[in-house]
Structure 1
Amino acid sequence: MNRRDALMRVAALVGTTLTLPALADTLEASAARRALSGKPLLFTADQDTMVAEMTEVIIPTTSTPGAKAAKVNEIIDIILKECYPQKEQKLFLDGLAHTNELSQAAYSKNFVALDEKQRHEIMTKLQSEAAEQRKAMASLPAEKRYTPFFNTLKSLTLNGYFTSEIGATQALSYIAVPGRFEGCIDLKPGQKAWAT
Structure 2
Amino acid sequence: MERRSAIKMLLTSIGITASSQTLITLVQASQQNHRPKKPYFNASQRAFIKQLNNTILPETSTPGAETLKLQRFVETMVKETFPEKQQNMFVDGLRITQELFNKSMIVDETTQQDHTAHLTQFLSITDEQRATYQILDDLPPERIPAEIKVHYYQYKFLFTLRALLIIGFMHHEEIAKLQRDAKDFPVTYIPGNC
CA-to-aligned-CA distance 1:74-94 (integer Å, 9 cap, x gap): 001001111101111111112
Q: Which has the higher helix share?
A: 2
1:162 Cα deviation after fit: 1.6
Counterpart of 1:154, as a letter, is R
Question: SS state of the match for residue 68, structure 2?
Answer: coil
* 3-state SS of paired residue (1:115): helix
Q: Give distance in 1, aligned partners of 2:123 and 2:103.
A: 17
Q: Following the alignment from structure 1 to structure 2, what is the Cα–Cα distance between the partners of residues 143 and 53?
A: 30
1:129: how far off?
5.8
Query: Do residues 27 (structure 1) and 34 (structure 2) align?
Result: no
How far, CA to CA, are the matches of 1:24 and 1:76 in structure 2? 11
1:90–1:114 Cα change, 3 Å: farther
Per the TM alignment, residue 15 of structure 1 is displaced from its structure 2 partner at its CA by 3.7
Matched, 1:78 2:84: no
**Post-superposition shift, 1:134?**
2.5
The AA in structure 2 aligned to 1:50 is F
Contact 2:27 2:76 in 1 (8 A): no
Q: Which runs of 5+ in 2 are unaligned?
A: 1-15, 141-151, 187-194
Number of the residue aligned with 1:99: 97
Paired with 1:57 and 1:26, the residues of 2 have a C-alpha distance of 29
Q: Secondary structure at the match of 2:122?
A: helix
Matched, 1:162 2:158: no
Which TM-score applies when normalising by structure 2?
0.64
Within-5 A mapping of 1:123-138: 123-128=119-124, 133-138=129-134
| Structure 1 equivalent of residue 45 of structure 2 | 47
Mapped partners of 2:169, 2:88: distance in 1: 23
User: Is the 8 Å Cα contact of residues 95 and 149 (structure 1) preserved in structure 2?
Assistant: yes
Secondary structure, counterpart of 1:80 in structure 2: helix
Higher relative contact order by CA 8 Å / sep ≥ 6: 1 or 2?
A: 2
Which amino acid counterpart does residue 27 of structure 1 have in structure 2? S
Pair 1:58-2:61 in alignment:
no
> Which among 172, 184, 192 is matched to residue 178 of structure 1?
184
Aligned residues: 156
TM-score (norm 1): 0.64
Identical pairs, percent: 28
Say if 1:102 and 1:122, in contact at 8 Å, map to a contact too. no
Aligned-residue Cα RMSD (Å) equals 3.4
1:87 has 2:90 as partner:
no
